């Protein structure tokens, strides 16, 4: 789909001093002027965001708004000068388990990649996954969602986006943010854009950004008895544990990354506790 984009995060190359790709993700265009929806963990706190279109153009992107709790972000494509194709947003409230879906994006830097699967659950609560920073039901699917696929659209057989690919626990267990939640987020984006136009129209400066907070740079899933049982059924190498957390993703260069923590690690205690 021409409305699915590849997002490249660039950072300073320690050897040459220039910019070099450090991470990537996917996204999809929701407005003809170049507004893109993706995951917050793909672009949050990133200075240099690039958006690659289906025609090969690599353009600058600016982060418009981030909802860390819901893991949703909006990025505006800059200096495009053309009308862009957009996706059609569906309704996640009408989804049923067993429906076929397609996950689109650029996993492992492979653009224009799609994987198919079915919806396993439409009410996988965040508390059930151990995600205590939000209160949201996720879409569970067995469609493959891999690194780089985050932020891409989950599409039904009518070609409508019904979710945002966000998290893979193991093969056959992946999760997406319901599109109805994204629609609420997009209303906040419009309100922010209107507010900014009002500020600058009166010759005033925008309110200062909130101070940055300290962070570990790790996202984890609490290993509940149900999740442990499902993981052990799907993975013969999964450790025999009764509790703990499964490391889902790590931000490169973060304190957690520097400490040697990696995606897939299972943590059962810290300093003997």
CATH number of the structural domain spanning residue 263: 2.30.42.10
So what's the pLDDT on residue 204? 52
pLDDT for 218 equals: 78
Choosing from 1, 23, 92, 150, which is the catalytic residue? 150
Cα 155 vs. chain centroid, distance in angstroms? 15
Check whether residue 223 and residue 256 sit in a common domain.
yes
The pLDDT score that the predictor gives to residue 134 is 65
Range of the domain at 29: 4-86+181-196
Same domain for 72 and 185, yes or no, is yes
Same domain as 191, residue 74: yes
Asked if residue 203 belongs to a domain, the reply is no
Listed residue (173, 172, 165) closest to 149, CA to CA: 165
Look at the chain and count its residues.
273
Query: Which segments of the chain does DSSP mark as H helices, in order?
Result: 40-43, 179-201, 225-234, 255-258
User: What does the pLDDT read at residue 15?
Assistant: 62
Same domain, 58 and 188: yes
Q: Please give the tally of structural domains in the chain.
A: 3
Residue whose C-alpha is closest to residue 141's, from 175, 116, 166, 110 = 175
Q: Is the dihedral of CA 211, 215, 220, 222 positive or negative?
A: negative
Active-site residue flag, 188: no
- 137 and 32 within one domain: no
Query: Parallel, antiparallel, or unpaired: how do β-strands 19-31 and 35-38 relate?
Result: antiparallel
Q: For residue 93, what pLDDT is reported? A: 92
**Is there a single domain that holds both residue 110 and residue 121?**
yes
Q: Would you say residue 150 lies in a domain?
A: yes
What CATH number is given to the structural domain containing 21? 2.40.10.10
Q: Judge residue 102's burial from the number of C-beta atoms within 10 Å of its C-beta, 0-12 exposed, 13-18 middle, 19 or more buried.
A: middle
Confirm whether 109 is a catalytic residue.
no
**Which of 71, 92, 137, 248 is labelled catalytic?**
71
For residues 167 and 243, membership in a common domain is answered with no
- For residues 82 and 156, membership in a common domain is answered with no
In a domain, 71, yes or no: yes
Which parts of the chain sit beneath pLDDT 50?
203
111 flagged as catalytic: no
State the pLDDT at residue 209: 54
pLDDT of residue 34: 94
17 & 125 share domain: no
Q: Of 23, 41, 67, 174, which is the active-site residue?
A: 41
Please state, in angstroms and rounded to a whole number, the distance separating the CA atoms of residues 144 and 116: 7
DSSP 3-state of 10: strand
Confidence at residue 165, expressed as pLDDT on a 0 to 100 scale: 94
Indicate if 157 and 107 belong to the same structural domain. yes
Residue 207 lies in a domain: no
Residues 79 and 103 in one domain: no
Q: Is residue 204 part of a domain?
A: no
Do both 25 and 73 map to the same domain? yes
What predicted TM-score, i.e. pTM, was given to this entire model? 0.73
CA gyration radius, the chain: 19
128 occurs within a structural domain? yes
Predicted confidence at residue 247, as pLDDT, reads 85
């Amino acid at each position: 789909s021409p409305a699915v984009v590849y997002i490249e995060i660039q950072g300073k190359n320690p050897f040459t001093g220039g910019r070099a790709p450090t991470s990537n993700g996917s996204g999809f265009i929701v407005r003809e002027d170049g507004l893109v929806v993706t995951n917050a963990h793909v672009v949050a706190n990133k200075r240099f965001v690039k958006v690659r279109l289906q025609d090969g153009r690599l353009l600058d992107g600016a982060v418009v708004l981030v909802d860390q709790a819901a893991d949703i972000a909006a990025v505006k494509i800059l200096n495009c000068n053309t009308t862009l194709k957009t996706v059609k947003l569906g309704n996640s409230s009408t989804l049923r388990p067993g429906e076929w879906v397609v996950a689109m994006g650029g996993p492992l830097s492979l653009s224009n990649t799609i994987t198919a699967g079915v919806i396993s659950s439409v009410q996988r609560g965040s508390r059930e996954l151990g995600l205590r920073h939000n209160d949201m039901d996720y879409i569970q699917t067995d469609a493959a969602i891999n690194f780089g696929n985050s932020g891409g659209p989950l599409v039904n057989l009518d070609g409508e986006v019904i979710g945002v690919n966000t998290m893979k626990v193991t093969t056959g267990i992946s999760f997406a943010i319901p599109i109805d939640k994204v629609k609420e987020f997009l209303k906040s984006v419009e309100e922010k854009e209107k507010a900014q136009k009002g500020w600058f129209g009166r010759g005033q400066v925008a309110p200062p950004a909130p101070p940055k907070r300290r962070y570990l740079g790790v996202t984890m899933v609490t290993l509940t008895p149900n999740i442990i049982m499902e993981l052990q059924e799907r993975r013969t190498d999964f450790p025999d544990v009764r509790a703990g957390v499964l490391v889902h993703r790590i931000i490169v260069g973060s304190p957690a990354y520097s400490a040697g923590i990696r995606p897939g690690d299972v943590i059962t205690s810290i300093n003997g506790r």
